[in-house]
Amino acid sequence: MGNRVKSYHIMRILSLLCCLHHDLQLDCFLLLLLLVLLSVIPNCSSFSASNNQHPTPTTKILPVATSHEEPIILSLSDVFTDEEVDNMIQLVESSIESSALTPTSAYQEDVFSKEAWDAEDIILRNIVQPLLDDGSIPNDDSSENEVALRSFVYAVTHYPDKITQDDIIAGANIIQRREAVERWKSDEGLSIMKLSMDYDMIKEEGDTMAVDWDEISLGKRYEVPSELLDRIEHVIPTVLKGGRDLWTTTDATIVKYHEGDLQVPHIDPCDATLLICLQPCLEGGSTCFPLLDPPRRLENSRGGGYLFFSSHAMGQDQDDSSGNERNVLSLHHGGRVLKGEKIVMQIMLEYNGDEDVQTWLEVVA
């Protein structure tokens, strides 16, 4: 099993490098083909919630107001009481301080951080140092960028047996983050980033508008612990018909924003998103929908939240019959926190009902 997992992550490295470094494509493809023939990729584990013995809040009808017709955005007030919110914040903060919360692997964190890049280079150099010391791989003394990464790739492609599984996984994660940076800096990525309502990110360079990458710092994401997940999922039947019988949680995340942090424009890969604010910041940090007419900034309130839909309802006319075509107008981002800190919980939901619905308003409780 260990070799199969190790081979899987080597394949992951090579697949990412084929996108990130064109000059490595041939060597990567040949080794990738060999690994495919010799190994089996383990099945990815699906998201599941752990059972816990903590008491759950009493289900209550929430006052819901429609903020916008299309996409449907519902505002929720008093999702949790002040006492419940205090307990949740205390659990989140203490868990972060003690490193008990697990950083989520579903997102690219610190993707624009120069400090993260430098720290990654140190990790890569430490991985390959024993092979440099014994002369297995050549020493690259050039001052070019990606020297550490290039040495790591050489080591993986020529001496995979001399690198531990944990080091291979670490290298794969580094490459995946850097590949994400390149996607954002592409023409398509720049076009999306310029939709941000944080206008201080956009700067003039001659006759063109560019993104100030040094001004981007992302909120930190963690998996929702089991102590909180059941409490949050008990909110679902109060806002969505059928509750957990018709709606499946595909992702549950806590996001903590420090001063200066934001979230980049994106469309959630789900039918519905339940966004609950535990701690609003003192200034900034609104949830922004820049493609609406007019663009909307939704303010976050303690213990309140929003329910919005990122796909078209299955009964609506759309280009395919899959029933989950993304609604482009649902593109949104977390505005920059200008003062204080913000903590939100995000639950992504998929609809499992057999009946087609013409509008998502039909499933709102």
pLDDT in tens, 156-171: 888 888 889 889 888 8
Indicate whether 232 pLDDT > 90: no
Q: What is the pLDDT of residues 89-116, one digit of tens each?
A: 999 999 999 988 888 765 655 667 677 7
* Sign of torsion over alpha carbons 58, 61, 67, 71: positive
pLDDT of residue 341: 97
Q: Where do runs of H (alpha helix) occur along the chain?
A: 2-20, 25-38, 82-97, 114-133, 147-158, 165-184, 187-193, 226-233, 236-239, 243-246
Q: What is the pLDDT of residues 191-222, one digit of tens each?
A: 888 888 888 887 777 777 788 877 788 899 99
Strand partners, 307: 74, 274
pLDDT of residue 47: 38
pLDDT of residue 180: 77
Which has more pLDDT, 302 or 10?
302
- 47 Cβ partners below 8 Å, 6+ apart? 249, 250, 251, 252
pLDDT of residue 285: 95
Confidence of residue 127 (pLDDT cuts 50, 70, 90): very high
Q: What is the pLDDT of residues 240-292, one digit of tens each?
A: 998 888 999 999 999 999 999 999 898 999 999 999 999 999 999 999 999 98
pTM: 0.71
Percent of the chain with pLDDT over 70: 74
The 10 Å Cβ neighbour count of residue 83 is 9
């205090």: which residue's tokens?
86
Q: Are 278 and 89 in contact (CB under 8 A)?
A: yes
Confidence of residue 331 (pLDDT cuts 50, 70, 90): very high
Indicate whether 33 pLDDT > 50: no
Rg of the chain on CA atoms, in Å: 23
Q: Are 148 and 121 in contact (CB under 8 A)?
A: yes
Which has more pLDDT, 330 or 322?
330
Average pLDDT, the chain: 78
